[in-house]
Amino acid sequence: MIISTTGFQFISIIIAVCAFAVAAWLYKWVNAQPSSNARIAEVGTLIRRGANTFLKQEYAVLAKFAVIVAVVILLFLPKPIWNNNVLENVTMAISYLAGTVFSAISGKIGIQIATIANVKAAEAAKEGIKPSFMVGFRGGAVMGMAVVGSSLLGVAAVLMITGNTTALLGFSFGASSLALFAKAGGGIFTKTADISADLVGKVELGIPEDDPRNPAVIADNVGDNVGDVAGMGADLFDSNVASIAAALIMGASLDGGVSGKNTAVVFCYAAIGLLASIIGVATAKIGKNGNPTRALNSSTYVTTAIFGILTAAATALFGFEWRIWGASAVGLLVGVIIGIASDYFTDDSKRPVHYVANASKSGPAFTILSGISYGLISTLPAMVGIAASALIAYKLCAPIGEGYAMFGISMSAVGMLSIVGMIISNDAYGPIVDNARGLAEMGNLGDEVLETTDQLDSAGNTVKAITKGFAIGAAGLTVIALLGAFMSEVNAAAIELGLPTINGFDVMDPVVFFGMLIGAAIPAVFSAMLILGVDRNAQRMVTEIHRQFKEIVGLKEGKEGVVPEYDKCIQIATTGAIKELIPAGLTAIISTLVVGFVGGVHAIGGFLTGNIVSGLIFALFMSNAGGLWDNAKKYIESGHEGGKGSEAHKSAVVGDTVGDPFKDTAGPSINTQITVVSLVASLMSTLFLTMSLFG
């Protein structure tokens, strides 16, 4: 059977629309769940208002940034406007703005549903674990369906309208640049509040985690939404768009246009991935006394199996290359393996968490040393997985013909991200049930409800570590594919200008090595800037919390009618996050431009290689170490190693405080950073080829 690329684009759009319909139904279902507790409704309103206030202020700043970048793109990309067809530059600028808008909408949808589902999940916990789990999961699934539907719709629409794969780079850069700042800003906000609330509340005063006396407690719950929901949604939207864009660029290069079999297979597999996620979400369930972690993981495995079966059937039906199917299957399999490896190092039922919890009895120094050690060890399985996936996909597809080896790697990335709808659903579940736990405590729903929400929250933390590992692994394969897309763009420009093409980057070339060293250093500097942003902001908030406990009479004692000034802490987190988010992102982008204009395309090849390797190690280490410390603290709080209030607990809280900006600010922002610099390199390839000092 033969279906044209346009036919597969239409099918992709139809499945994207189906995803929106499922998201709308799930939204309506969650919103219809009962909620009658006045205190929970009041706190839920405060959280929703704080999240929307932050998002509004953040998007106002990012809108100005996007307009400036769009003007630069209009003037210079893909070529200076005075040397090029004006329409091409206009198309690129509009595609960029479309990418930022789609990414922003993804974050907004996530906030909208998460701040409803948290209240409903808290109330549902009174009826048991099953109804509360279903509210949390279906709330997360609204975002999963909407984000992946948007990414597939956006890519298909841009290619159908423009007929130009280079415009996809503009769309992807728009998504990536906004995701970079959204993830960094949301991460700084959430960890500012989380660290401040923990240090003053738990460590200094010994009060519970979500005690309403703590002035930072509402800001902490707001942060779960702006960082872990809106930020992660934008991040995975960006990764999915980038992986599809890279595959389409290389596929079109091999096809000699945008209407060949290779571009068709990209759309076919991406559409099937979304369809598999829709089926997986629809079939997700849990028993009356079921295990939420098992329920979340089984949904992922079901979706994975459906994708494998349906893509195999499509490959046979439409006559696609089985080697390309093999590459995508390898990517998906390795994604699951990376998730399982992350689970081992972060699950509170596994040895590493138990060891760190035990080490905490000897003081916070041992908590941190053991956590860092296991975090570093945890990078090896994932890096081996990414390397093996790239190598197998490369070797598997190389016999098809010249250029297919790199296309195989890009399809491996598409395969790994094929079930991203389910991954986002699982990821957004985490902050929803985390908020539900806090709301249950502030609504005085009792110990039995808190025990239920603690179970749900623990599952959320474990699965979140898995989804972050999955996202980082996918970003690794995606940026390797983007390196191939960069070479395709450079060679297309070189042929047009009558210059030699490039087949690779020799690390013994001093220009390449120059770029590699600088590229490897950028993730370290980027991470440091974000963590310092959290540090400075948290110090300001701790000072404010101390002031309130000192000046508001009866607050520390919990006298009836005495309420802290929650808005002051929310404003400190908001102002500080917006102030700190721009410099780190600009550092990554500007360094790419400097290296490109100094060393040319060969230096950029080295820069991207160093950035990818260093960035993946930093991202995996920080995400896994942070998740490990978090669950070691929760393991102790559940009654082990002395339980709450013990010396081990105090040490574990310190470890968790160090891990917070690791796992929720710097770690997950790095994979967006390496995607952004890869896209900047591809967009600027012609300029780097013709306007460099040593190129």
Buried b vs exposed e over 607-636: b needs ≥16 C-beta within 10 Å? bbbbbbbbbbbbbbbbbbbbbbbbbbbbbb
> Residue 402: its pLDDT value, please?
87
660 contacts 224 by C-beta, under 8 angstroms: no
Would the pLDDT of 468 be above 90? no
> Residue 475: its pLDDT value, please?
76
Binned at pLDDT 50, 70 and 90, residue 198 comes out as: confident
pLDDT in tens, 48-70: 999 888 889 989 999 999 999 99
Closest CA to 243 of 468, 407, 4, 17: 407
Q: How many domains does the chain have?
A: 1
Separation CA 440–CA 473 (nearest Å): 35
Binned at pLDDT 50, 70 and 90, residue 662 comes out as: very high
pLDDT in tens, 501-524: 888 888 889 999 999 999 999 999
Would the pLDDT of 177 be above 70? yes
User: Which percentage of the chain shows pLDDT scores above 70?
Assistant: 99
Write down the pTM of the prediction. 0.89
How far CA 2 is from CA of 82, 318, 404, in Å, comes to 42, 6, 21
Binned at pLDDT 50, 70 and 90, residue 12 comes out as: very high
Separation CA 476–CA 479 (nearest Å): 5
> Residue 539: its pLDDT value, please?
93
Binned at pLDDT 50, 70 and 90, residue 74 comes out as: very high
Please list the alpha-helical segments (H only) found in 5-85: 5-31, 38-76
How far CA 160 is from CA of 69, 146, 238, 633, in Å, comes to 24, 21, 20, 51
Q: State which H helix or E strand residue 110 sits in.
A: helix 86-124
Q: Residue 221's Cα: distance from chain center in Å?
A: 19
Residue 252 token pair: 């079109």
> Residue 1: its pLDDT value, please?
60
Residue 525 token pair: 């500097």
In which domain, by residue range, is 289 found? Answer: 5-690
Mean pLDDT of the chain: 89
Report the pLDDT averaged over residues 609-616: 94
603 contacts 514 by C-beta, under 8 angstroms: yes
694 contacts 543 by C-beta, under 8 angstroms: no
Q: What share of the chain is helix, strand, coil (3-state, %, to 5)?
A: 85, 0, 15
**What one-character DSSP code corresponds to residue 78?**
S
> Residue 445: its pLDDT value, please?
83
- Indicate the SS3 state at residue 84: coil
Separation CA 300–CA 296 (nearest Å): 7
Would the pLDDT of 356 be above 90? yes
How far CA 317 is from CA of 321, 433, 528, 534, in Å, comes to 11, 42, 51, 53
Tell whether 141 is covered by a domain.
yes
Tell whether 252 is covered by a domain.
yes
Report the pLDDT averaged over residues 268-273: 95
> Residue 419: its pLDDT value, please?
86
374 contacts 345 by C-beta, under 8 angstroms: yes
Phi, psi angle pair for 164, to nearest 5°: -135, 115
> Residue 373: its pLDDT value, please?
97
Would the pLDDT of 465 be above 70? no
Would the pLDDT of 203 be above 80? no
Q: Is the peptide bond before 78 cis (omega within 30 degrees of 0)?
A: yes
Can you spell out the DSSP letters for 304-333?
HHHHHHHHHHHHHHHT--HHHHHHHHHHHH
> Residue 375: its pLDDT value, please?
95
Separation CA 662–CA 194 (nearest Å): 13
Separation CA 570–CA 54 (nearest Å): 8
The residue whose two tokens read 């808005």 is 567
Report the pLDDT averaged over residues 586-610: 94
Tell whether 695 is covered by a domain.
no
**What one-character DSSP code corresponds to residue 499?**
P
Tell whether 683 is covered by a domain.
yes
> Residue 438: its pLDDT value, please?
85
Report the pLDDT averaged over residues 298-313: 91
314 contacts 272 by C-beta, under 8 angstroms: yes
> Residue 255: its pLDDT value, please?
83
Q: Comparing 203-212, 288-297, 619-628, which segment has the lowest mean pLDDT?
A: 203-212
| Residues whose CB is less than 8 angstroms from the CB of residue 223 and which lie 6 or more positions away in sequence, other chains included | 186, 189, 190, 191, 192, 193, 194, 573
The sign one gets for the Cα dihedral 198, 202, 207, 209 is positive
> Residue 325: its pLDDT value, please?
96
Tell whether 247 is covered by a domain.
yes
Closest CA to 465 of 432, 437, 426: 426
Residue 96 token pair: 């960029």
Residue 449 token pair: 């409800």
Tell whether 535 is covered by a domain.
yes
249 contacts 169 by C-beta, under 8 angstroms: yes
- Indicate the SS3 state at residue 126: helix
Tell whether 621 is covered by a domain.
yes
pLDDT in tens, 23-38: 999 999 999 998 888 8
Separation CA 636–CA 360 (nearest Å): 9
